[in-house]
Structure 1
Amino acid sequence: MSSIIDWLRTSTPGLLVLCGLAIAVLLFTIIKIKLEPFIALLITGLALALAAGLPVSQIVGTAIKSNESLLEVGFGSILGHIAVIIGLGTVLGAILEKSGGADVLTTKLLGVFGERGAPVAMGLLGLIFGIPVFFDIGIFVLAPLVYVAAKRGGKSLVLYAMPMLAGLSMTHAFLPPHPGPVALGGLLEVSLGWLIFMGFVCGIPGFIAAGIVWGSYIGKRMHVEVPPEFLVTPDRESGDDSGGAGGATIVKPHPTKTVTAPPSVGLIGAIIAIPLVLILGATFGTQLLEEGSSLLQVLTFFGTPAVALLIAVLVAFYVLGVRRGSSVQDLSTLTGESLRPVGMLLLVVGAGAFFGKVISATGIGSALAETMSAAGLPIIVLAYIISCGLRIAQGSATVAIVTTGGIVAPLVAEQNYSQMAVALIAMAIAAGSIVLSHVNDGGFWIISKFFNLTVKQTLQTWTVLETILSVVSFTVAAILFAIFA
C-alpha cells in the first residue's frame, strides 16, 4: 500500500493519475451531487493536497498563523486582483443599463444598417453592450429589443437573436472586466491590457463566423415566430409605441426606469471606451516609453484596471445619474443591488485559485510539462483541450476557466513567454470554456426560454454558434502563438 502511495506522490504517472482523480471528483460533486462549485472546488483542493502528502501546515497553516498557507494565499492572491475590477465593472454595467443605453444603441444601429442589416446591428449591439454587462443580464436587457426587430422585419427570431448572442458571448469569454478573463490575468500573471487587445484580435473573427455568418445561415433556414405574449399593445401597457410593429411595445423581463431624455450614443460609447483606452494606454506605454518616465507613471496610474474602471464609474454616475436627476441615494441603491450576485462568483474564482495553488505545490504541473513535452503537445493546445473537457463535462465557463488556469499556470511560469504569448494561452482557455454549450449550462436554458426555442432548436442554433465561436477564436490564437511565441 505504501509503495502505491509513494508512486502516486513522486512519479510523473502517479501525479497525473492524482490530477485526473481530482478532476473526476470535482466533476462528480458538481454534476451528480449538485454541490455549489465553490464548495466542490474547496473540497477537491483540500483532498488533493492531503492525498499528495503536503504538510497540513502548508495547506491550512497553524492555529496561530495561516496567512502563508495554500488556502489563504490561493484565495487572497486572486481575489485581491479581481474583486475590485469585477465589482466596479458590475456597477458600470448597471448604470449603463438603467440609463437606457441599450435602447439608444439599438435605435442608432438600426438606423445606420436599415432593415436588411438589422441582424448585423443586433450583433454589434451585443458586442458593444456586452463589454460592461454580464452575459445573462445582457440577454435580459437586449432580448426585448430583438423581439421588436424580428417583428418589424417579419423574419425568424433566430436571424436576429444569434448575432446578438454571439456578441454577448464573445465579450463575456474574452474581454475584461468579465470574470473569466480577469481571473486568467491573475492566475497567469498577464496584463489586462494584453488580454483586452488579444481578446479583440481572437474574438472578433469568431464573432463574425458564429454570429454573422452562421447566424444568417441558420436564421434563414429555421423560422421561429415572436410569441404574442412577448409583445403587448399600448392599451395593455402605457408608453411610446414606436418601438414595435403594428403599435406593439416590448415587455422587458427587467423593466428599466423610464427617462425623459435618453443619453446620446456618443456618450454611452465614450463611457464604455474610458477603461479600455486607459488600460491599453498603460500596457503599450510600458512597451514604448522609457522606464521611470513621468508620462509612463501617469499612464500606469490611470491605466491600472481598478483606477480606470473607477474613473468610468464616477463619470457614469455624474453624466448618467446626477445630471439626469438621480440622487446619491439612488445611485447607492443601484450599486448595492448590482453587487448582490457577485459574491458567489468571487468565491468560485477564489476556490479555483486555491485548487490551482494545490496543483502547483504537489508538482502535478511539472509532471504535465514533462508529459506534454514527450508528446510534442504545445501548451496552448493542452490548455484548450483541458478547458473544453471541463466545460463540456460540468457546464460552467467560469469553473472551466479557473480550473484550467490553475492547472496550466505552473507550466506557463516555467517558460519565458512574453506577455503576448501568455495572453494567447489565456485566449485558448477562454475559447475552450464556451465550446459545445448544452443542457448542463444555465445559459442554454435562458436562451431557450427567451427566444422561443425547443431543446432541439437550441442545440441546432446556440450550441453550434458557441462551438464555432470557440474553434475559430482558438484557431486564431494558436496561429498567432505559433508565429510569435
Structure 2
Amino acid sequence: MSHTTLLLIALAGVSTLLLLILRAKVQPFVALVVVSVGVALAAGVPAAKLVETIESGMGSTLGHIATIIALGAMIGRIIELSGGAQAFAHSLIDRFGSRRTPLALTVAGFVLGIPVFFEVGLIILMPIAYGVARASRKPLLVYTLPMGAAMLTVHAFLPPHPGAVAVTQAIGADQGLVLLIGIPLTAVVVLLGYLVSRRMTRREYPMDPAVYAEVYGEGATDAVPGPLPDAVTEGRGGAGGSTQRAIGADGHGTAVLTKPTAPATPEVRPPSFGMVLALIVTPILLILLGTLGQNLLAEGNTLRAVLTVLGAPMVALLIDVALCAYFLGGRRGWDRARIAEVMGSALPPVAMVILVAGAGGVFGKVLVASGIGDAIADVLDRTGLPALFLAFLMALALRAAQGSTTVALITTAGILTPLLQRADLSTGQLSLVALAMGAGGLAVSHINDAGYWMFTKLAGLDVASGLRTWTVLTTTMGAIGFALTAALWPLV
C-alpha cells in the first residue's frame, strides 16, 4: 500500500476519533478502540492478526502504567482524606505570610499536584482560596488562577499522572530523567505563570453572583469557609465534603459531590507540613536515586542493584503507599479496614483513565503494525522540523481539538514513536521530547476541556472571562515550557 494511501487512512482515523468524541459524545476509550480496529482493517492488517495486535498494544501499555497510576491515586487519596492536603496548604500560607498568600497557594498547588489529581486538588484547595479571599477582600481570581494553573501544569508534565506515564513508556524515555529534568523545569513554568497571572488579575472580571455571595458573604470571618452547598451541576464543593469523582479521559472532570461530611478522625490533629512533604517527595527521590545509580555505578555493583529495584516507579510508589497508610492512617487512628477502604476508593475514579491509556497504546500499536507509523515518519522527516517542535505542535493541536490532555499525549506519542525511533535520540533527548509533549498538552485549555469548566465554575467566571484568563494563561505556560525544553536540548 502506498504512503499516500496510508496517510489518508491515518488522517481519516484521527478525524473519525475527533468526531466520535466531540460530536457523537462517544466515551474516549470506546472511540479509540473502534478507530483502532477500523484503521487496522483499512490499512491491511490481516484479520487473523487483528485481535493479537489489539491485545498486544493494550497489554504492553497497561503492563507498565496501570500499577503506577493506581498506586499514585492511592497516595493522593490517603493524603486527601487524612486532611494532609489542607494542613499542608495552611502551613504554607502561614510560612509565606498574608502578602504572599497567592504564591503560597501556587506552591501548594504545585506540590500537591504531584500525587493528587487536578480536579481533586481544586476541590481541596478552592475552599482555602475562598477563605483567604474573604479575609483579604481581594478578588478570588488572584488566588485561584495561579493555583489552578500550577496543578494543571504538573498534571500535563510529570509522572505519575497518566499522560506523562503513558508518553514515557511509549517513546522509551526514562521516568527518572523525566522527573530529574521535569521538576525544576515545571517549577520555573509555574513561577513564571504566577508572575503572568499577577498582571492578568490587576483588572477585575465579572463574577457569578452566587460564587461572589459564597466567598464574600456578610459575617464571614473564618479563615476558611465551612462546607459548601451541594453542587452536582455547578461543580462546587466543601472542604469537608465527600467527593465522588467523575473523572474523564483526562484524569479530571466534573466533580460530583455528596453531602458534606465531617473528617474521619476529627479528634486527631492533621498531619504536619513536614510529614506531608516527606511523603510526597519520597517516591520522587527513590526514582531519581535509581536513575542516578544506573548512570553512575558500574554493572554488577550491589548498591546499583538495590537502587535499581527501589527506584523502579512501581516499587517506589508501593513503598510510599505503605508509608502513607502507616503515618497518615494507622498512626492516626485508622484501623486496617478503614485503610483498605480508603485505598479501594481511589481505584474506581482512575479505572477509565487506565483504560483510555491502554486504548491509546492499541492505537499506537496499530499505527506501527499497519505501516502507517513509518509513512508518517517519512513525511515528518521531509518537513525538516525538529522532533521536539513536532512533539509540541502535535500535542497542542490534538489538545485544542478534543480537550483531553491525556488523549492528546497518548495519541501524539503513538504517531511520533516511529519517527523518534528512526531519529536515534538519546535518553535525555527523549525525556525532553516527553516534556515538550506535556507543554503542548498543557496549552489551550478551553471550552471542550472538562478542567476549563470546573475551574471557571469554581472561580465564578463566565465563558469570555475564562477564555481571557485561564485559556491565555495555560497557553502561555505551555509555550514557556516548550521554550525551556528547546533551551535544554543542546545540553543533553
With structure 1 as the length reference, what TM-score do the two structures score? 0.91
- Taking the TM superposition and a 5 Å limit, the aligned residue runs for 1:11-26 are 12-26=3-17
CA distance in 1, matches of 2:139, 2:8: 49
1:325 aligns with 333
Answering whether residue 46 of structure 2 is matched by residue 75 of structure 1, we say no
Deviation at 1:414, TM superposition (A): 2.0
- Tell me the amino acid that sits aligned with residue 193 of structure 1: G
1:249 and 1:340 mapped to 2: Cα distance?
28
Per the alignment, residue 373 of structure 2 pairs with 365
Q: Give me the whole-angstrom Cα distance separating, in 1, the residues matched to 2:97 and 2:215.
A: 23
Shift of 1:285: 1.0
> Could you tell me whether the CA contact under 8 Å between 2:189 and 2:477 is conserved in 1?
yes
Task: Indicate conservation of the 8 Å contact 1:437/1:463, yes or no.
Answer: yes
Query: Cα gap change, 1:233/1:72 in structure 2, threshold over 3 Å: closer, same or farther?
Result: farther
Q: Give distance in 2, aligned partners of 1:183 and 1:128.
A: 21
Q: Give the match for residue 88 of structure 2.
A: 105
* Alignment pair present for 1:219 and 2:201: yes
Amino acid at match of 2:83: G
**Paired-residue identity, %:** 38
| Paired position in structure 2 for 1:30 | 21
- State the alpha-carbon separation in 2 of the partners of residues 384 and 361 from structure 1: 25
1:3 aligned residue: none
1:428 alignment partner, one of 418, 428, 436: 436
Deviation per CA, 1:214-233, whole angstroms, max 9, x where unpaired?
Answer: 21111221256662335789
1:141 matched to 2:121: no
Q: Distance in 2 between matches of 1:233 and 1:278?
A: 49
Name the amino acid aligned to 1:95.
Answer: I
Alpha-carbon separation, structure 2, partners of 1:421 and 1:215: 31
Q: Please tell me whether the aligned partners of residues 395 and 438 of structure 1 are also in contact (alpha carbons under 8 angstroms).
A: yes
Q: Is the 8 A contact 1:173 1:180 kept in 2?
A: yes
Match of 2:37, as an amino acid? L
Task: Give the conservation status (yes or no) of the 8 Å contact 2:85–2:112.
Answer: yes
2:41 aligned partner: 50
1:425 corresponds to which letter in structure 2?
V
Aligned: 1:288 with 2:279: no
| Displacement of 1:446 | 0.4
The residue that corresponds to 1:191 in the other structure is 174
Q: Which position in structure 1 is the counterpart of 2:161? A: 178
- Output the CA distance in 1 between the equivalents of 2:338 and 2:195: 42
CA shift, 1:358, in A, is: 0.7
Which residue, out of 454, 466, 483, partners 2:462? 454
Deviation at 1:250, TM superposition (A): 5.4
CA distance in 2, matches of 1:163, 1:250: 23
| CA–CA distance in structure 2, aligned partners of residues 471 and 48 of structure 1 | 32
Residue 6 of structure 1 is matched in structure 2 by none
Which of 167, 185, 209 is residue 150 of structure 2 equivalent to? 167
Amino acid across the alignment from 2:316 = A
| Count of matched residue pairs | 458
Shift of 1:151: 1.4
Q: In the TM superposition, what are the counterparts of 1:187-266 in structure 2 within 5 Å?
A: 187-210=170-193, 212-223=194-205, 227-230=212-215, 242-244=222-224, 249=226, 251=228, 252=238, 254-255=241-242, 256-257=263-264, 258-266=266-274
Larger radius of gyration: 1
- Alpha-carbon contact 1:387-1:400 (below 8 Å) kept: yes
**Which secondary structure does the structure 2 equivalent of 1:220 belong to?**
coil
- For residues 296 and 159 of structure 2, the distance between their equivalents in structure 1, rounded to whole angstroms, comes to 23
Q: Does the aligned pair in 1 maintain the 2:135–2:223 contact within 8 Å?
A: no
Q: Which residue of the partner structure matches residue 59 of structure 1?
A: 50
For the 8 Å contact 1:194–1:420, the answer to whether it is kept is yes
User: How many Å separate the matches in 2 of 1:39 and 1:101?
Assistant: 36
Counterpart position of 2:235 = none
In structure 1, give the amino acid aligned to 2:90.
T
The alpha-carbon deviation at position 234 of structure 1 amounts to 9.5
Q: 2:16 is aligned with what amino acid?
A: V
Q: 1:53-106: CA deviations, max 9, x gaps? A: 11112221xxxxxxxx21111000110101111101000001111111122222
Check whether the contact 1:158–1:218 (CA below 8 A) recurs between aligned residues: no
Q: 1:179 and 1:198 mapped to 2: Cα distance?
A: 18
SS in 2 for 1:121: helix
TM-superposed CA distance for 1:470, in Å, is 0.7
Classify the secondary structure of the residue corresponding to 2:360: helix
- 1:414 corresponds in structure 2 to 422
How far residue 205 of structure 1 moved from its aligned partner, in angstroms, is 2.5
2:409 paired residue among 392, 401, 416: 401
CA distance in 1, matches of 2:376, 2:185: 26
- Structure 2 regions of 5+ residues with no counterpart? 229-237, 243-262
Tell me the equivalent position of 2:306: 298
Equivalent AA in structure 1 for residue 149 of structure 2: A
Q: Deviations over 1:381-435 (max 9, x none)?
A: 1111111111111111111011111111111122321111001111111111121
The CA distance in 2 between the partners of 1:372 and 1:408, in whole Å, is 9
Name the counterpart of 2:68. 85
Provide the residue aligned with 2:257 in structure 1.
none
Paired residues of 2:206 and 2:465 also in contact (CA < 8 A): no
* Aligned AA (2:33): L
Equivalent residues of 1:421, 1:484 under 8 A apart? no
Alignment of 1:120 with 2:114, yes or no, is no
Residue identity opposite 2:200 in structure 1: I
Distance across 2 between alignment mates of 1:14 and 1:458 = 41
Q: Alignment partner of 1:42: what SS?
A: helix
Supply the AA of the counterpart residue of 2:311.
G
Matched, 1:356 2:364: yes
Cα distance in 2 for residues equivalent to 1:150 and 1:250: 16
Amino acid at match of 2:146: P
Contact 2:381 2:419 in 1 (8 A): no
The RMSD of aligned alpha carbons is: 1.8
Q: Any runs of at least 4 consecutive aligned residues in structure 1 with deviations exceeding 3 A, and if so which?
A: 223-226, 230-235, 248-251, 255-259
Contact 1:155–1:223 under 8 Å retained in 2? no
- 1:322 Cα offset (Å): 0.8
SS in 1 for 2:442: coil
